[in-house]
Structure 1
Amino acid sequence: MCGIVGLFDTHSKSEIDRRLLGNMNQTQVHRGPDEGEIYTEPGMGFGHRRLSIMDVSGGQQPLFNEDRSVVVVFNGEIYNYQELAKELIDLGHHFRTHCDTEVIVHGWEEWGEQCVDRFRGMFAFGLWDRNQDTLFLGRDRLGIKPLYYTMLTSGLFIFASELKALLAHPEFVREMDVQAIEDYFAYGYVPEPRTIFRHACKLPPGYTLTLQSGQQLPQPRQYWDVPFQMHDKSMDERELQDELIVRLREAVGSHLMSEVPLGAFLSGGVDSSAVVAMMGGLMKDPVNTCSISFSDPAFDESDYARKVAERYQTHHYVDQVEQDDYDLIDKLASLYDEPFADSSALPTYRVCELARKRVTVALSGDGGDENFAGYRRYRWHMYEEQLRSRLPIGIRRPLFGLLGRLYPKADWAPRFLRAKATFEALARDSIEGYFHSVSIMGDKMRQRLFSPSFKRDLQDYQAVEILRDHANKSPTKDPLSIVQYLDMKTYLVGDILTKVDRASMAHSLEVRVPLLDHKLVEWVSGLPASLKLHHREGKYIFKKALEDYLPKDVLYRNKMGFSVPLAKWFRGELRDRVRQSLLGKTLAETNIFNMDFIEEMLDQHQSGRSDYSAPLWTLLMFESFLRNIRHSENTVTYTNNKANA
């Protein structure tokens, strides 16, 4: 795994400041501690930080073709590089290394922009072709690896693995995007393609960007999408289960190439256990597995992880993480570069820290919930969809809207007793309802949170537009498949994969996600929705297929998640700290917030009358982000940017 950075002067062939490029490259040293190189020529420059995984003795980057007219910097792994290299050699190309990076330069020479269609893996890269005066960027299909870019007013185009490299350029203007702020407080992260900064974007998953001298910044081009094309119905359920295991084993096997120690995360959940089970049948040596335990049994899954480890005789390592591990709060702000409110980033950081003591590469089970409909919210959404289908929106909106307003709020109650939330969801259309279920702060809460001046700057923009835009592009009309598609476009890439990438790279650990192998994703997307969510059982066919491989109490127990006790923290150990942070000058001076409402939430939460732990954490991470970013001399402001929607 690596960190990449590049500069391209679209206006002239001026010399690139090598010292500045080196400094930008160095901001990502944690992504690649083994080697660091830069390359410049008139009008362009590339930097690379390397974590050596394949062809450890060779494969240094930036990497060139034979006549040095094409050069690439690359972050990720191309799992089918050996078969691609053979094909390219047969076509007359000459390879100087045994590294997967080299198939990118020769693939570009042979297939041009369509080269990405041939790559199987996780990747983000920048490629310069001097003969065509062209810069080409590509990002993998699911967004496993990150890629940020900006165009400065001077005409200098910059790209990098992390925002911190862009921030290191003195001409980058740190204006926050007003719409990105609205998105953050709805979702807990800033969804693609926005970033928290107006002048920086993320290249979306499954997209490329081609830029030439003298050209205005073009729109990215999509080369892949989740197909959701139904399979041949001639296969019965048992045959589909058998086929699933064959495809799962092949996907995991393709992710095992490495010249350095390799292992797996093992949480005790279905997804990571499935990956370890497949590894156990494919590897000659025992698998190295890493888990963390919690002292609080409500959060601890280590016994289930131990059962799987014993079954497959892995070399199993467990570290205990205490529930008061909140000293990482400020550390997270420096890792993510923009506000990020998933509190499971704390234990994720710790499990990556543990894994790096044993291995350099770890396989994880991320992606299983999105692929196989494992989230509980899918079950509730489909229940609400059944009710929505019985009444038109013209009747539902006023009827259930009134009931939602009249019914008391009951955060303390089980979900089925929280009728207020259900009524509010039924008053909405399908997309609004799903948005309501995934929002950290609902529409009404954000209305109270933001100041009058900030709401004017929003100009009626609402974060639900993100989901509407994706739903309009969805290749499927099936209600369950649509929300799976929405999660793959938003939550999976913006939250889950971002969390794992930053936490792992902070420890120079490469994490691979075989459940997001695009060939497996394509096949799984074509399974009938009824085999994913079957009655009340999520991941139905996945669990049935794994019954010969995993204990039933691992497969069919209630999902615990990977969380921390925020409500307890904010009423106990962090009581004073959270009040000082949220009511201090950092948030107040932005003019974004209604400070009276923040104080009201604090009072009600700390008195035990309400649970506002998630909104308070979201605010705490935003405050930490602001303090971290203001350590520089640049002023941070926010601005409306309708064009960046």
Structure 2
Amino acid sequence: MCGIAGIWHRDGSPVDAHLLVRMTRTLTHRGPDDEGYYLHGSLWSPTQSTSREAAACAFPLGHASLPDLNPSPFPGLGPPRLRDVTRSSIALGHRRLSIIDLDAGRQPLANEDGTVWVAFNGEIYNFQNLRTELVGQGHVFRTRTDTEVIVHAYEEWGTDAVQRFRGMFAIALWDERKERLWLVRDRMGKKPLYYAQLGATIYFASEIKAILAALGDTPPLDETALSDYLSLQYIPAPKTIYRNIRKLPPGHEALVSASSMTLRAYWDLSFEPSVSDHSEKEVADALYDLLQEAVRLRLVSDVPLGAFLSGGVDSSAVVALMAASSQEPVITNTIAFDSKHYDEGPVARQVARHFHADHHEFQVTPQCWPMIDTLAWHYDEPFADPSAVPTYYVSKMARRVVTVALSGDGGDENFAGYSRYRFDVVENQVRRWLPGIVRRRVLGALAGLFPHRPNVPRFLRAGTVLSNMARDPADAYFTSISGMPAADKQGLLNGSCRHALQGYSTVELFRELYRKAPAQDHLSRLQYIDIKTYLPEDILTKVDRASMAVSLEVRCPILDHVVVEFAARIPWHWKLNGLRGKHIFKKALRRCLPAAVLDRSKKGFAVPVGAWFRGELKEHARSWILKGEGTRGFLDGNRVAAMWNEHQESRRDRSMELWTILMFNAWAKRFLA
């Protein structure tokens, strides 16, 4: 796994080599093993930096301490002096975490005549088959890396090469002949890629902080992104918290020329059923074979490899399939809590013993508070999934024994594992029986007669159920997954933020995705929404930043795009069978997992933040939430204080709202203060 960065001055003005180094070295945590730079037709490595050069490379916002500015040059390259490389208007930077072909896999990497250059973050799992095909077409390889496959695949098939890649990737490729920059991101959004188009210049990087290092001044905040964040606890693509910086969405590519930038989708997911003429058993068997193949492809590594294990079905399945394909015990890593309600440690230990794994465990306690600031730095923008804390710790623990870890992410989105799917499907069935005017007027009025009961399960909240059935499907789903009700958010934003929104509402994103989803049934439309929003922007962002913070590569076999496409074509009632989620997935896994694992109720990767706010973290959290930079600048302080008091007095569980405010303030302290 790696970090990439780059600059293209499309007006032909020269790139400042110091600026490129500054951008790239903010990503050292993503690639601690090596660095490389492409400027003006050749590789370049900074050596023997003067004090003036070292000062120029200091991160302008004061957020990162850079490593030694005197790395060893690439053997035999004889790097040119700075004045020889500053003529280039295009520059690529790369930080490397060595996984495959440890000695020869340095980047940026070029074709034979130096007309195509690539900086790459990720893994192409089918690179060996592609390499064989390309050699048959006459291409000559100098390394054993998947990176070089990208270069020759582009030479052979152009930008259509991405259709052949099976993996996770963010790619920046410079075509010297066409004077064209190709930016591309994997289908599911496992690897990040950000860009900023300012005048004639394009900046791009694996993380926002690298672009900030180039810009110097902090860009203005995007109030619509803040509104999205308060509702969703993450910021959906293509937005970032900054107006002038954007995410390249998953499954998209950008073609940049001297005069234009074209953004287009190269992949989408269809939920049109196509396996209905097969029996349920035949589909389950085919699914098992695909999962087995996806795991096997992800076991290729020249460094130690292990797995995350929570004890749930998804991670247990990955460990089971790894054990079946490996001669050595699988190295497993899990997180435990001192609260039995949240602790999956005992279950994970049982699974590890069943597969004779080499098991490691770490307990998360409220003493994790110092990590809040660390997480704010690594996530670059407000991010409020509390499970980022244990994800960081399990990554840190795993990195002590492995460099690559497989995870079970994706099972819930692919196979309808979340309880919210069950509730929404039932609500929608009732909704279809009633005319819209009846739902809106009668059910909406009845909902107001029931007291608000946020501390009980959703299916027992009569007011919530009636209110959701009064809404249209996309609105109801948005309401059910929002971490902050619309009325609360409206009151929380201060006057200037509300004015800047000019009536903008985050729910429009869900309405658009629900409408355009290539699906016929309600459940598949909800899955499509999650795969376009929650999965890449919350789950995969959480895992990427937490793991890369400690230089750990994480691979997600259940999110292999071949598996995802197959799952999408399975009829919805084979995923959600009655009120049983993951039905076909569990049926496929019965040959490798014990019934005790498959039939256990889902617990989820939760964190006891509500109790922490009333207990060990109370004093720390009070100061950060009530007096933080974000609260003072963008929120209504009185409303924040009211939420805090409601939670402390147990009148209402405000843990999610308060965590959202806390992480916004932690980000603001790092990047706005």
TM-score interval for Structure 1 and Structure 2 normalised by the shorter chain: over 0.9
Give the match's secondary structure for 1:192.
coil
Aligned to 2:56: none
Work out whether residues 323 and 565 of structure 1, in 8 Å CA contact, stay in contact via their aligned partners in 2.
no
Q: Which residues of 2 match residues 342-491 of structure 1 at below 5 A?
A: 342-491=385-534
Aligned to 1:35: 34
Work out whether residues 628 and 665 of structure 2, in 8 Å CA contact, stay in contact via their aligned partners in 1.
no
Distance 2:5 2:376 in 1: 21
Aligned to 1:175: 220
Aligned to 1:623: 665
Work out whether residues 296 and 325 of structure 2, in 8 Å CA contact, stay in contact via their aligned partners in 1.
yes
Q: 279, 293, 296: which is aligned to 1:236?
A: 279
Is 1:45–2:44 an aligned residue pair?
no
Deviations, residues 454-473 of structure 1 (Å, cap 9, x unaligned) = 22211111001111222232
Q: 191, 195, 199: which is aligned to 2:244?
A: 199
CA-based RMSD of the aligned residues comes to 1.3
Give, in angstroms, the shift of residue 349 of structure 1: 0.4
Q: 87, 90, 100: which is aligned to 1:54?
A: 100
Deviations, residues 96-126 of structure 1 (Å, cap 9, x unaligned) = 1110001111111111111100111000010
Is 1:190–2:230 an aligned residue pair?
no
Q: 192, 205, 216: which is aligned to 1:160?
A: 205
Work out whether residues 324 and 569 of structure 1, in 8 Å CA contact, stay in contact via their aligned partners in 2.
no
Q: 53, 56, 69: which is aligned to 2:115?
A: 69
- Give aligned-pair identity as a percent: 49
Distance 1:416 1:496 in 2: 25
Give, in angstroms, the shift of residue 608 of structure 1: 0.9
Is 1:2–2:2 an aligned residue pair?
yes
Give, in angstroms, the shift of residue 574 of structure 1: 2.4
Q: 177, 181, 191: which is aligned to 1:131?
A: 177
AA partner of residue 477 (structure 1) = Q
AA partner of residue 92 (structure 1) = G
Aligned to 1:20: 19
AA partner of residue 8 (structure 2) = F
Work out whether residues 309 and 316 of structure 1, in 8 Å CA contact, stay in contact via their aligned partners in 2.
yes
AA partner of residue 598 (structure 1) = V
AA partner of residue 139 (structure 2) = H
Work out whether residues 427 and 468 of structure 2, in 8 Å CA contact, stay in contact via their aligned partners in 1.
yes
Distance 2:277 2:638 in 1: 62
Work out whether residues 152 and 172 of structure 1, in 8 Å CA contact, stay in contact via their aligned partners in 2.
no
Work out whether residues 276 and 571 of structure 2, in 8 Å CA contact, stay in contact via their aligned partners in 1.
no
Give the match's secondary structure for 2:451.
coil
Work out whether residues 25 and 47 of structure 1, in 8 Å CA contact, stay in contact via their aligned partners in 2.
yes
Deviations, residues 505-544 of structure 1 (Å, cap 9, x unaligned) = 0110000000000011111110010110111111011112
Give, in angstroms, the shift of residue 576 of structure 1: 2.7
Give the match's secondary structure for 2:140.
coil
Deviations, residues 77-108 of structure 1 (Å, cap 9, x unaligned) = 00111111111111121111110001111111
Is 1:270–2:313 an aligned residue pair?
yes
Is 1:563–2:569 an aligned residue pair?
no
Is 1:606–2:648 an aligned residue pair?
yes
Segment drifting more, 260-269 vs 302-311:
302-311
Aligned to 1:643: none
Give, in angstroms, the shift of residue 3 of structure 1: 0.2
Flag structure 1 segments of 5+ consecutive residues without an equivalent: 632-645
Work out whether residues 423 and 459 of structure 2, in 8 Å CA contact, stay in contact via their aligned partners in 1.
no
Work out whether residues 88 and 107 of structure 1, in 8 Å CA contact, stay in contact via their aligned partners in 2.
yes
Deviations, residues 254-305 of structure 1 (Å, cap 9, x unaligned) = 1111000011111100000001111111112111111122221111112221
Segment drifting more, 165-174 vs 461-470:
165-174
AA partner of residue 167 (structure 2) = G
Distance 2:363 2:495 in 1: 46
Aligned to 1:639: none
Give, in angstroms, the shift of residue 417 of structure 1: 1.8
Give the match's secondary structure for 1:371.
helix
Distance 1:617 1:351 in 2: 21
Distance 1:204 1:558 in 2: 34
Give the match's secondary structure for 2:230.
helix
Distance 2:631 2:288 in 1: 54
Give, in angstroms, the shift of residue 585 of structure 1: 5.7
Give, in angstroms, the shift of residue 477 of structure 1: 2.0
AA partner of residue 226 (structure 1) = L
Is 1:98–2:144 an aligned residue pair?
yes
Deviations, residues 538-563 of structure 1 (Å, cap 9, x unaligned) = 10111122223212221122211112
Aligned to 1:521: 564
Give, in angstroms, the shift of residue 629 of structure 1: 0.2
AA partner of residue 23 (structure 2) = M
Work out whether residues 275 and 570 of structure 2, in 8 Å CA contact, stay in contact via their aligned partners in 1.
no
Work out whether residues 228 and 236 of structure 2, in 8 Å CA contact, stay in contact via their aligned partners in 1.
yes
Residues 308 and 472 from structure 1, CA distance in 2 versus in 1: closer, same or farther, beyond 3 angstroms? same
Distance 1:555 1:331 in 2: 36
Deviations, residues 161-200 of structure 1 (Å, cap 9, x unaligned) = 0001001013555111111011000100000111000001
Distance 1:447 1:309 in 2: 47
Give, in angstroms, the shift of residue 234 of structure 1: 2.7
Deviations, residues 361-413 of structure 1 (Å, cap 9, x unaligned) = 00000001000000010001101101111112222112222222231111222
AA partner of residue 601 (structure 1) = M
Aligned to 2:61: none
Aligned to 1:635: none
Is 1:548–2:591 an aligned residue pair?
yes
Distance 1:22 1:71 in 2: 18
* TM-score scaled by length of structure 1: 0.95
Give the match's secondary structure for 1:67.
coil
Give, in angstroms, the shift of residue 65 of structure 1: 0.3
Work out whether residues 404 and 553 of structure 2, in 8 Å CA contact, stay in contact via their aligned partners in 1.
yes
Deviations, residues 582-613 of structure 1 (Å, cap 9, x unaligned) = 222623541x3222211111111101111111
Segment drifting more, 323-332 vs 338-347:
323-332
Give, in angstroms, the shift of residue 229 of structure 1: 2.9
Give the match's secondary structure for 1:3.
strand
Flag structure 2 segments of 5+ consecutive residues without an equivalent: 41-87
Give the match's secondary structure for 1:128.
strand
Residues 332 and 232 from structure 1, CA distance in 2 versus in 1: closer, same or farther, beyond 3 angstroms? closer
* TM-score scaled by length of structure 2: 0.91
Give, in angstroms, the shift of residue 575 of structure 1: 2.2
Segment drifting more, 292-301 vs 335-344:
292-301
Work out whether residues 173 and 199 of structure 1, in 8 Å CA contact, stay in contact via their aligned partners in 2.
no
Give, in angstroms, the shift of residue 306 of structure 1: 1.8
Q: 536, 539, 548: which is aligned to 1:496?
A: 539
Segment drifting more, 580-589 vs 603-612:
580-589
Give the match's secondary structure for 1:209.
strand
